[in-house]
Amino acid sequence: MRFLATVVVALALAGSARAQAPPPIKVKVFVAAMFEIGANIGDRAGEFQPWYERYWRESAPRIVKGALKPVYCNHDGVCGSTLGMGKVNSSTSMQAIMLDPAYDFSQAYFILSGVGGTPPSRGTIGDVSWGSWLVDYDLGHRWAPEENTPGAPTFMPRAGYEDYRSFKLDPTLVGWAVRLTKDVPLQDSDDARRYRMRYPDIRAREAPSVTAGTHMTGDTFFHGPGLSKEAQHIAKLYGADDYVITEMEAAALALVIKRQWGTGRILSLRGAVNFDQGSPSETTLQHLDPAPGQTAGGFAETVANIVAVGSRVVDRIVADWPQWKDGPPTHSPSHPGFGRDGPLPLSMREGF
């Protein structure tokens, strides 16, 4: 009898604890940054700090077991965290956060946010790019250039990776984001302006703008004209748009999200803080390890640009939540990004 009474009391206490547990936070938008340089406020900003300063100054950190950094949420259902750099690091954090019962991601939109490098023929320092495709640079067969016909690609796809080597993001959602943000004023710096003049490419010399195209995910910090050309080759092999920016996480994060909620609410947002190759006057190694005073500049301006662009999307989704909670509106004159004939094309520039 004493044992039975103990069981009854334990079940009653467990039921009481469940009854008192707060309901999960209904996440409307989750912003994923990859690294922060120092604190979340008051020092040199990395990828997360500008988001934190805009949305979570008054929010308490929420520890999630298995995640690299705490999660922050505001009263509008905008949450975010620093996930860590690289595919394994970031996707482990994302998985832990998404499986935490304290959060309800069933209607959430995801903005995968960070910096990267751009080919000088496709972008410039300070650009902010919406990803139309996320492509994994690493999955496949690769061999040494000297073991191939000179100038030929040293990569080919491997069978069995088809379901997780590339992800086409919802063109309706991406097209809406592009249209909504294409006129956001972007910051620039004198150092970045001077640095651009090292490159003969017309696009590299232009002022920053909002663009769209394929984001190439690689754990390897690939660099130089040869590997940039190979990245473009991989994008074309998979039927994706032109490769416009490097990064190290988005394809892996898309796979984690896809396995639970699909890819229909994912946006990838990257700012260009470097070119993926040196100028004609320097070697690849010289560009990777520059002399003092020879770096591109524009980092602080670029991370500010990312949030200036991304926050316009976040704020619109939250403000119009009744129209967005069940999925991106497919056609509505009241939503920027849509004309009378549906979503505008993703291409922001000739050649994309």
Distance CA(252)–CA(328), nearest Å, equals 23
Tokens of 340: 């009378």
Greater confidence, 346 or 41?
41
pLDDT at 2 (0 to 100):
52
Distance CA(266)–CA(285), nearest Å, equals 35
Domains along the chain with CATH numbers = 24-343 (3.40.50.1580)
Dump pLDDT digits (tens) for 13-69. 455 545 577 899 999 999 999 999 999 999 999 999 999 999 999 999 999 999 999
Distance CA(231)–CA(236), nearest Å, equals 9
Say whether pLDDT at 8 is over 60: no
Residue 9: pLDDT band (50, 70, 90) is very low
Helices 171-181 and 299-319: crossing angle, nearest 10°?
110
pLDDT at 323 (0 to 100):
96
Dump pLDDT digits (tens) for 195-226. 999 999 999 999 999 999 999 999 999 999 99
> What value does the mean pLDDT take over residues 169-187?
97
Distance CA(285)–CA(287), nearest Å, equals 5
Dump pLDDT digits (tens) for 111-120. 999 999 999 9
Tokens of 211: 């663009």
DSSP 138: S
Distance CA(148)–CA(156), nearest Å, equals 12
pLDDT at 95 (0 to 100):
98
Question: Which residue from 221, 223, 213 is spatially nearest to 123, judged by alpha carbons?
Answer: 213
Length of the chain: 352
- Dihedral sign computed on CA atoms, order 286, 290, 292, 297: positive
Say whether pLDDT at 347 is over 90: no
pLDDT at 22 (0 to 100):
87
Distance CA(204)–CA(192), nearest Å, equals 11
Amino acid at position 329, single letter = P
pLDDT at 339 (0 to 100):
38
